[in-house]
Structure 1
Amino acid sequence: MSTANSKRFALPFSQTTLVIIAGALILSAAMGIRQTFGLFIGPFSFDRGLPVTLIAFAIALHNLVWGFAQPFAGAAADRYGSAPVVAFGATTFAAGLGVAAVAPSGPLLIVGMGLLVGIGVSCTTFGVVLPAVGRIASPEKRSMAMGLVSAGGSAGQVLMIPLVQSIRLSSGIATSLFVLAFLMLLIAPLGIVLDRRASVGMQLQEPPAAPLRKVFAQAIRHRGYRLLTLGFFTCGFQLAFIATHLPEYLTLCHMPVGLGATALALIGLFNMAGSWGCGWLGGRFRQHHVLGWLYLIRSATIGAFFLLPKTSASVVIFAAVMGLTWLGTVPLTSGLVAKVFGTRHLGSLFGVCFLSHQIGSFLGAWLGGLVFDLTGSYSLLWEATVVAGLVAAMLHFPIDDKAVSTPAIRSKPAAA
């Protein structure tokens, strides 16, 4: 294609910037809010008399529902655009928070924080936002663009955790959850901005779309996709366990009150640099190699934190290093899927891969509560996160990242 034609189909910088900003804001709200759920385990247990296992199950369930709903949300965004999917997801997310705010019993908490929040977050996070961003970026800049959106999305974790902690302490659980529900409703219209790409001839960059079932069949046969999907399980397992149970674990270690919230906020702060940095590295080195080293660093950090004495300084260092490796897996994983299979069905293919991540998230959050109730300790889960990270690293290094050809499209018979 000539230079003139290339310019013709390039998105204006201002439009690209708008899509990146909108994606970052949507991720900030959705991811920032769900990262606060660990702050509610103690209050729900003490104020409403709910078992820790049940609260952890509700939080874990939203991860599982998110995972199973993600392929459908991604496919809907691929077909109908991001606007209706984000609007539906933000409204459902807000409804789930509202139900949790007034839940007098465990079953209602499970419906709100588990089922409704899980559906809502599947429509307002990576599987819908990153494919929209990935389609506006050239292949060499795609990993960087996704890293920028993920980094911007981390601002929500930095802002939401102290906000929720402050409102909860001054006004209670219900008020803090209603405030979060209102914030989710504010981002409902931003999906329209993600769809601005539709006015530009982006579809001409790729061959006509093959049937989704053929694309899925091709991906499932691809050894690298299977390894990537299995490895992504570990990311969810590690992050959900830490985000859900770190505040309570630090309380058991007799650390200062509020240090858990500070640690989660620091993870979000350093994740802004980490997500951008991983996106940058993914544009310069082979993405699966960066992923392998990321999992090794994460496992070494978790192991050192668990074994060494706990001090305020060690918690801060742990939070900083974990933040640098926290969500950097997402732009690298989605970028690798786009590199191998293209962007036409990126939402659907990343959604299936992300299901594995969310099964890991479910187990990390729920098993943390279950093991604690059974043993009075989180030790087994800390050890499991280290081992899982080492296994994930070994799965990523041998991935074949060569682009595959699009499945053949059966042509329609000519009209008589």
Structure 2
Amino acid sequence: MQATTPSRTLSAQQVLLCGALIVTLSMGIRHGFGFWLQPIITERGWTRETFSFAIAIQNLAWGAAGPIAGMLADRYGAWKVLIGGGLLYALGLVLMSVAAVPWAFTMGCGVVIGMAQSGCTYAVIYGVLGRTVAPERRSWAFGVAAAAGSFGQFAMIPIETLLISHLGWQMALWLLAGSALLILPLALGVREPERPVVVGGQSILGALREAFGYRSFQLLMLGYFVCGFQVVFIGVHMPSYLRDKGLGLEVSTVALMLIGLFNIFGTYAAGMLGQRFPKRYLLSGIYALRAVAITLFVTLPLSPMSVYLFSAVIGFLWLSTVPPTNAVIAQIFGPAHMSMLGGFVFLSHQVGSFLGVWLGGRLYDATGSYDVVWWLAVALGVFAALINLPVRESPIRRMAAA
């Protein structure tokens, strides 16, 4: 039984365009944070672990706030959450630039930016897409949005390195803060009509009990943990790893650009393939290929060409887990609570991110090498490949009965 009828509809094309631009900005800005490690710790006199810990807290705050942001977006409207996320993003970048002591840097770069990202990235955008795009095209739409975030990662790398080299790292952060405010007008483009109130619909607690009691949801969370560990460790620490090996800044710049470039193709391909093949096999294959790529990277002789080849391959696999994972969630549980459930799965991703980026700095300071973390990333990739195989993609019995 419905209490009201929506007076207007939201165009899927409009949601895709505005949502893609929002994700381009939010993901693009953060992708270059690794380039701030060296200038910040050099000027402030900090260790790599200090910077790594702040980024680790950022990922943990992002994950912890994700379910709340998703719940608010599902209940009160994604556009309101996006506006709040954009404002927090700008504030966090400003605080990151002026912090003179580690705890203040951790608050700005870690807590504030992490909370901001929970409100203006995939989980919130995917919730609107899941309610706007037809079920048979959701996987494709998720792939398009993820590809947009990948394009942001590709496009922002040269911009950020140029800003740092010409204006200094602090002024560069102020300019990025200004660009984050562009999220505010774009948020109005995904403003949904008032949705009908469904009498007797599933409650938030009911949705949570159902999801966390479902084995496939648990397995998806474990797989996403591995995804977070791998990509954030590589994204933050690879520039310093390459510098330690005697390769210049230009190699790191091209490497991260290639990750962003090939990520565009990988995420879009994952969205397309998710419409044609079982998504659990797609996810298993992605994690297995990551393990192989990292193994070859750390065992073969290092050169600019080997770095570029690794970056292209790992870039193709970078966020290709995002469309099929979210499509499976929508397929199993439906779109009503998708932002919230996606937020909880992403919380697992960010716990992995926290450990990946923090252990990278911690173990480097303890051993003088990243080798242990590289091999840990390989082992986790094999683990994730195996646990995604038994995931069941069919709608939960409640959905089938409805």
Q: Is the shorter-chain TM-score for this pair beyond 0.5, marking a shared fold?
A: yes
Shift of 1:316: 0.8
TM-score norm. by structure 2 comes to: 0.95
**Secondary structure of 2:247's partner?**
coil
Contact 1:50–1:105, Cα closer than 8 Å, also in 2: no
Contact 1:168–1:176, Cα closer than 8 Å, also in 2: yes
TM-score norm. by structure 1 comes to: 0.92
**Secondary structure of 1:310's partner?**
coil
Partner of 2:262: 270
Partner of 1:31: 27
Residue type of the partner of 1:260? S
* Residue number among 216, 226, 239 corresponding to 1:224 in the alignment: 216
Partner of 1:165: 161
Q: Distance in 1 between matches of 2:362 and 2:199?
A: 49
Q: Distance in 1 between matches of 2:252 and 2:199?
A: 49
Q: How does 1:7-406 map to 2 (within 5 A)?
A: 15-196=11-192, 198=193, 209-406=201-398
Encode CA deviations 1:45-69: one digit per residue, 9 max, x unaligned.
Answer: 1122111101000011100000000
Shift of 1:10: 11
Residue type of the partner of 2:266? G
**Secondary structure of 1:284's partner?**
coil
Encode CA deviations 1:209-258: one digit per residue, 9 max, x unaligned.
Answer: 31110111011111111111111100000001000000000001111332
With over 3 angstroms needed to count, the CA separation of the structure-2 counterparts of 1:180 and 1:48, relative to structure 1, is: same
With over 3 angstroms needed to count, the CA separation of the structure-2 counterparts of 1:9 and 1:298, relative to structure 1, is: farther
Contact 2:41–2:47, Cα closer than 8 Å, also in 1: yes
Contact 1:82–1:192, Cα closer than 8 Å, also in 2: no
Query: Root-mean-square deviation (CA), in Å?
Result: 1.9
Contact 2:59–2:354, Cα closer than 8 Å, also in 1: yes
Shift of 1:193: 1.3
Shift of 1:162: 0.8
Q: Distance in 1 between matches of 2:277 and 2:177?
A: 40
Q: Distance in 1 between matches of 2:17 and 2:262?
A: 19
Residue type of the partner of 2:65? A
Identity %: 38
Encode CA deviations 1:380-408: one digit per residue, 9 max, x unaligned.
Answer: 0000000000000100001111201448x
Q: Distance in 1 between matches of 2:162 and 2:290?
A: 30
Equivalent residue pairs, number: 395
Residue type of the partner of 1:296? A
Q: Distance in 2 between matches of 1:10 and 1:145?
A: 21
Contact 2:239–2:249, Cα closer than 8 Å, also in 1: no
Unaligned ranges ≥5, structure 1: 1-7, 408-416
